[in-house]
A and B are shown apart, each in its own frame.
Chain A
Amino acid sequence: MAAATDDAGDSNEMIRVVSSDGEHFEMPEAAANLSLVLRHMIEDDCADAAGIPLAVVAAKPLAKIVDYCTKHAAKSSGLTIEEAEELKRFDAEFIEVDTDMLYDLLVAADFMGVEGLSKLAVQRTADLIKGKTPEQNRETFGIVNDFTPEEEEEICKENEWAFQITKPPSRLC
């Protein structure tokens, strides 16, 4: 169906995708093309009315990704400075999500090969990590310390300079 319109980029074709939990979404072909996986599917004529199934992407992150791609596809070429600024603001707002959603976006963008979003999510995660101790990071991301005592000791040594031991070491390493 993609071949129907030859003037690439200007196609009004809508691409349908289906989330792992069965929700249907659609977006312009130009938006879908921002995803490497979807682009390949479209090129291989796998995009039909039933929609492309995305087995590992749930509806919630998929809705966000469709949103992201649609926005970025609409403003992909010949950006003015104002438009670029606006897109930057959009990204900044877009990625203001909780850690659950961030995780889903991170994994889904990586799976779908949406490079811009992948970078955005990676950077957002890095920003959340910055300036925190390991324990604070565990709190932020709901992670349990699963190191063995031996590993713990190795890490303690490694971190001697970075994290001053003023409390019981187990809390800081």
Chain B
Amino acid sequence: MGLCFGIDRRSSPPPSPPPDWSYLPTDLAGLIFSSLPSHHDRLSFRAVCRQWRLGALRQHPLPPALPWLLTLTEPCVYQSLPDGVVHPVPDANRALRYLSSYDGWLLDYQYQGVRFPGERHRGRFFLKNPFSNATMDIPCRFDQPINTFHTFGDRHSIGPAAIILRKIIVCSPDLVVAAVNPNKIASFQPGIDQSWSVLSDNDDDDDDPRRIYEDIVFYSGKLYALTSNKELLVHEINTSSSSSSNNNSSNAKTVLSRAEHAIRASGHHPLALLEQIYHLDLLYGGLHNSHESHYLVISCSGKLLMVRCTTRYPHVGTSSMGGIADVNNAIKFRVFEADLEGGQWLETVAGPPRAEEEETDHYMIEGVDLDGDEPAKVDEEWRYFKKGKKKGNNDMQDESEPVQDEPEQVEVEPNILPEKFRDQDPECVPDDEAVVVASSYVMSIGPEH
């Protein structure tokens, strides 16, 4: 304790008025606001009083809040992170009509006019932000035919949109980009283009016609695309101001450049063709017993990461419940950082040394560090990922047991959101947003302006 040797000369010090939190300086309010990783808490914070709201809205830079995980099937719910609480979606009947969600935008379809049995897509597709209620129409046709498993007849059509449009990114008000299943990138300029412009294939020597896009992400002003070969392709976004000389600069054109390799495939994946049919795999009840998918994620510290998610399914027939919805999936994650200068993927490691890690892998348990045993020098990227424990609960006896390399270490039941993760230690808040969920649509809520 600091030594207090002063004697107050006044007989009774004037009682200072109790502090008033509604006068909290906006910069401090902003700091507190940005220390709240949960989007729920942020919404709540902004609704307390005007001063707090002002501080929240002014805060810059603001780390992105953790996304909400949305299921667009019955029951229509979303799960907030990091607390894991499941909330009903308001007006669930309406919400169940949403086709898909992409980073905070819901894909919606509205029928227009009379529906004929044979007629497709006589309506409009649009993206909707459920908070601001902003909407953005998207073209329902491509400017060239698409080769995909999923269209029925009309190869210009984007329907069934939830499958064909693997991911949509609103890069800017001037450009919306989509990864088109399986191997195209398309874009359009809102308010200008009537159809999606499909990017033509590269003529590069090693351009692989069987390339499948796994994910795309908008990062540092460029579009990055990840293929099933773990190649990372980068497209510049070019704005050419008024290409026609006699026009005023009113019609600037925003287009994607051709793909350049940011990271080359480390060798052709022998299973590339097999991977191509994993959709069928899922549709037909699982010919394989595991499925691997990759996601591009930008960490809070601004790194571009590739998350590899391996889902193992028990062999058909081994589950007493039967049916794919009852199957307990075992989900494993590994994370790689894009070394853009070196043109390679670097596996991010923390805690266990690499050799051990190879054996044990890392598990994501809904962002909750159940045992509170994160290694001291845990890398920021690894906050979500940790060694799997045999059981998800705080079972002290497990401490002495070697970590078992068995698939049922983490069990995630599709469509049954894990109540057991509620009320976990709120101290163990990850501040990274590396979130991927295999069986849910991911709805990421970005910072608002």
Q: Are A144 and B2 in contact (CB under 8 A)?
A: no
Q: Are A123 and B35 in contact (CB under 8 A)?
A: yes
A58-B16 in contact given A126-B35, A131-B83, A161-B89 (Cβ < 8 Å): yes
Q: Are A130 and B426 in contact (CB under 8 A)?
A: yes
Q: Are B50 and A151 in contact (CB under 8 A)?
A: yes
- When chains A and B are docked, how far (Å) is the Cα of A29 from the Cα of B18? 31
Q: Does A2 contact B (CB under 8 A)?
A: no
Q: Does A41 contact B (CB under 8 A)?
A: no
Q: Are A130 and B28 in contact (CB under 8 A)?
A: no
Interface-facing stretch out of B39-47, B108-116, B406-414: B39-47
Q: Fill in one digit per residue for B1-21: 1 if any A CB lies within 8 Å of its CB, else 0.
A: 111111011100110101111
- When chains A and B are docked, how far (Å) is the Cα of A70 from the Cα of B3? 10
Q: Are B24 and A103 in contact (CB under 8 A)?
A: yes
Q: Are A159 and B4 in contact (CB under 8 A)?
A: no
**For A144, what are the chain B residues with a Cβ–Cβ distance below 8 Å?**
22, 49
- How many A residues, CB 8 Å from partner? 57
- When chains A and B are docked, how far (Å) is the Cα of A79 from the Cα of B52? 38
Q: Which residues of B, 68-82, contact A by the 8 Å Cβ criterion? A: 78
Q: Which residues of B, 32-69, contact A by the 8 Å Cβ criterion? A: 32, 35-36, 38-41, 43-50, 52-53
Q: Report which of A24, A158, A163 forms a contact with B4, defined as CB distance below 8 A.
A: A24
Residue of A nearest to B95 (CB): A161
Q: Does B90 contact A (CB under 8 A)?
A: yes
Q: Are B21 and A141 in contact (CB under 8 A)?
A: yes
Q: Are A158 and B131 in contact (CB under 8 A)?
A: yes
- When chains A and B are docked, how far (Å) is the Cα of A63 from the Cα of B3? 8
Q: Does A143 contact B (CB under 8 A)?
A: yes
- When chains A and B are docked, how far (Å) is the Cα of A26 from the Cα of B4? 7
**For A100, what are the chain B residues with a Cβ–Cβ distance below 8 Å?**
18-19
Q: Are A122 and B31 in contact (CB under 8 A)?
A: yes
Least Cβ–Cβ distance between A67 and chain B, in angstroms: 5
A70-B2 in contact given A22-B9, A129-B41, A162-B40 (Cβ < 8 Å): yes
Q: Fill in one digit per residue for A20-58: 1 if any B CB lies within 8 Å of its CB, else 0.
A: 011111110001000000000000000000000000001
Q: Are A126 and B43 in contact (CB under 8 A)?
A: no
Q: Are A142 and B43 in contact (CB under 8 A)?
A: no
Q: Does A127 contact B (CB under 8 A)?
A: yes
Q: Report which of A23, A27, A70, A147 forms a contact with B6, defined as CB distance below 8 A.
A: A23
Q: Are A26 and B22 in contact (CB under 8 A)?
A: no
Q: Are A147 and B19 in contact (CB under 8 A)?
A: no
Of residues B1, B14, B35, which shows the largest number of chain A Cβ atoms within 10 Å of its Cβ? Answer: B35
Q: Does B25 contact A (CB under 8 A)?
A: yes
**For A118, what are the chain B residues with a Cβ–Cβ distance below 8 Å?**
31
Q: Fill in one digit per residue for B290-329: 1 if any A CB lies within 8 Å of its CB, else 0.
A: 0000000000000000000000000000000000000000
Q: Are A134 and B44 in contact (CB under 8 A)?
A: yes
Least Cβ–Cβ distance between B320 and chain A, in angstroms: 36
Q: Are A26 and B5 in contact (CB under 8 A)?
A: yes
Q: Are A133 and B6 in contact (CB under 8 A)?
A: no
Q: Does B122 contact A (CB under 8 A)?
A: no
Q: Are A146 and B22 in contact (CB under 8 A)?
A: yes
Q: Does A95 contact B (CB under 8 A)?
A: no
**For A134, what are the chain B residues with a Cβ–Cβ distance below 8 Å?**
44-45, 47-48
Q: Are A129 and B19 in contact (CB under 8 A)?
A: no
Q: Does A137 contact B (CB under 8 A)?
A: yes
Q: Are A158 and B43 in contact (CB under 8 A)?
A: yes
Q: Are B35 and A21 in contact (CB under 8 A)?
A: no
Q: Does A155 contact B (CB under 8 A)?
A: yes
**For A123, what are the chain B residues with a Cβ–Cβ distance below 8 Å?**
35
Q: Are B22 and A131 in contact (CB under 8 A)?
A: no
Residue of B nearest to A110 (CB): B28
Q: Are B2 and A63 in contact (CB under 8 A)?
A: yes
**For B43, what are the chain A residues with a Cβ–Cβ distance below 8 Å?**
158-159, 162-163
Least Cβ–Cβ distance between A31 and chain B, in angstroms: 8
Q: Does B130 contact A (CB under 8 A)?
A: yes
**For A130, what are the chain B residues with a Cβ–Cβ distance below 8 Å?**
36, 38, 41, 83, 426
Q: Report which of B2, B14, B52 forms a contact with A21, defined as CB distance below 8 A.
A: B14
- When chains A and B are docked, how far (Å) is the Cα of A27 from the Cα of B395? 45
Q: Are A25 and B2 in contact (CB under 8 A)?
A: yes
Of residues A104, A126, A138, which shows the largest number of chain B Cβ atoms within 10 Å of its Cβ? Answer: A126
A23-B47 in contact given A63-B2, A127-B426, A143-B22 (Cβ < 8 Å): no
A25-B22 in contact given A130-B426, A155-B47 (Cβ < 8 Å): no
Least Cβ–Cβ distance between A70 and chain B, in angstroms: 5
Q: Does A173 contact B (CB under 8 A)?
A: yes
**For B35, what are the chain A residues with a Cβ–Cβ distance below 8 Å?**
122-123, 125-126
Q: List 23 A-B contacts (CB under 8 A).
A: A21-B8, A23-B8, A24-B5, A25-B4, A26-B2, A63-B4, A70-B2, A99-B21, A103-B24, A107-B25, A129-B32, A129-B36, A129-B44, A142-B21, A143-B49, A146-B50, A158-B43, A159-B47, A160-B90, A160-B131, A161-B90, A161-B131, A164-B88
Question: A-B pairs with the 3 shortest C-beta distances?
Answer: A24-B6, A66-B2, A103-B19
Residue numbers of B with Cβ under 8 A of A are 1-6, 8-10, 13-14, 16, 18-22, 24-25, 27-28, 31-32, 35-36, 38-41, 43-50, 52-53, 78, 83, 87-90, 130-133, 376, 426-427
Residue numbers of A with Cβ under 8 A of B are 18, 21-27, 31, 58-59, 63, 66-67, 69-70, 81, 99-100, 103-104, 106-107, 110, 118, 122-123, 125-127, 129-134, 137-138, 141-147, 151, 155, 157-165, 173
Known contacts A126-B35, A131-B41, A147-B53; 4 additional CB pairs below 8 A are A100-B18, A130-B38, A132-B44, A146-B22
